[in-house]
Amino acid sequence: MAALLVIEGLTKRFRGLVANSDVSFALAAGELRCIIGPNGAGKTTFISMISGHVIPTSGRILFKDRDITRLPVHVRARIGIGRKFQTPTVFDNLSVYENIELAVLATPTPRRGRHAKIMRTLDLVRLADHSGQTVGALAHGARQWLEVGILLAGEAQLLLLDEPTAGMTAEETHSTGELIRRLVRELSLSAIIIEHDINFIRDLKAPVTVLHLGRVLVEGSFAEIERNEQVRSVYLGNA
């Protein structure tokens, strides 16, 4: 599979603090990848550099062979990079339907096709029954799903999901995992997911990259990561 995203020697310093240090990374088209690491490891900073919210101090980011290292956020969004934030970033005062509609308006969908596309997206994230509801009144899990729906309706090809199950019950977490796997498979998307929940990560059956102190500690399958001594000591040391 061709590489969709290639990252070379990415470093980010916030004044004195090194949040990411010489991170290299590659993601194939259609690949699902999990990023784990203790708090402050630099996970959010890493995907912020991919989405354009943080500009790296040095290093390169190539998306579909194009150098996007310094492109503004909205331009990256237009070429297919969709970001879900750690705190859900949706339109709280608008209805579920309107939230998805705004995402559709960001795409070149002709006026006549918009309603059908909105309803299709609502079906995908199982929010069709809530389409008229104001988003501020939705349950926490539904808001997270809505934000995923917004990325889908916006025609993102690479999903950057920062802790998509935060605040969810075990059951919701499980079905979120199923949803993401299904979406990636059926819509041939790629996704980078930051997560903490060990059961969720195991269920994803995706390769895992472990960040620690801004560096890539190790990369491998979940089973390999679980056995890895370094990873164990990092997590035990932080537990």
Partner 1 sequence: MTAESQPARRGLFGGFRREDLAALVVFLLLAAVPLAISGYVVYILPQYMLLGVLAMSLALLWGYGGIVSFGQAAFFAIGAYAMGLAMKHLIGLPINSAYLGILIGTIGAGLVALLIGYFLFSAGVRAAYFVVATLALSIVVEQTVKSFSDITGGWNGLYVDRMTLTLGSMFELSLFDDAPIYYVVLAVVVPVYIVVAALMRGRFGKIVIGIRENEDRMTALGFNVPLYKTLVFGLSGLLAGVAGAFYATHAQFAHPVNAGVLFSTQVVIWVAIGGRHSLLGAFVGAIVVAALSNYLSSIEAIQSYWPLVMGLIFIAVIVLFRRGLAGLVESLAGKGPHGRVAGH
Binding-site ranges for Mg ion (CB under 5 A) = 44
Q: Is 113 in the site for partner 1 (CB under 8 A)?
A: no
Q: Is 133 in the site for partner 1 (CB under 8 A)?
A: yes
Among residues 58, 67, 136, 223, the one that binds partner 1 under rule CB under 8 A: 136
What 175-182 contacts at long range (C-beta under 8 Å, 24+ apart), as own/partner pairs, is 176/141, 176/144, 176/145, 176/200, 177/203, 177/204, 178/203, 179/125, 179/126, 179/145, 179/148, 180/32, 180/148, 180/204, 181/32, 181/205
> Which segment (2-10, 54-62, 81-89, 225-233) binds partner 1 by CB under 8 A?
81-89
Among residues 4, 7, 10, 19, the one that binds ligand ADP under rule CB under 6 A: 19
Residues near partner 1 (CB under 8 A), total: 37
- The answer to whether 82 and 47 have CB atoms below 8 angstroms apart is no
Q: Is 87 in the site for ligand ADP (CB under 6 A)?
A: no
| CB of 46 vs partner 1, minimal distance in Å | 16
Q: What are the φ/ψ torsions at residue 210 (nearest 5 degrees)?
A: -105, 120
Among residues 23, 27, 36, 45, the one that binds ligand ADP under rule CB under 6 A: 45
Tokens of 181: 């796997």
85 binds, among Mg ion, ligand ADP, partner 1, none (CB under 5 to 8 A by kind): partner 1
| Cβ count near 114 (within 10 Å) | 16
Q: Is 23 in the site for ligand ADP (CB under 6 A)?
A: no
Return d(Cα 49, Cα 55) in angstroms, integer.
6
CA distances from 55 to 6, 133, 168 (A): 16, 37, 31
- The answer to whether 59 and 22 have CB atoms below 8 angstroms apart is yes
> Which segment (54-62, 86-94, 177-185, 197-205) binds partner 1 by CB under 8 A?
86-94
Q: Smallest Cα–Cα separation from 140: which of 188, 186, 87?
A: 87
| CB of 55 vs ligand ADP, minimal distance in Å | 11
Q: Is 167 in the site for ligand ADP (CB under 6 A)?
A: no
> Which segment (39-47, 91-99, 177-185, 227-235) binds ligand ADP by CB under 6 A?
39-47
Sheet with 81-84, edge to edge strand ranges: 81-84, 158-162, 190-194, 32-36, 208-212, 215-220
| CB of 135 vs partner 1, minimal distance in Å | 9
| CB of 210 vs partner 1, minimal distance in Å | 26
133 binds, among Mg ion, partner 1, ligand ADP, none (CB under 5 to 8 A by kind): partner 1
| CB of 213 vs ligand ADP, minimal distance in Å | 9
Q: Specify which residues 212 forms β-bridges with.
A: 215
CA-only gyration radius of the chain, Å = 18
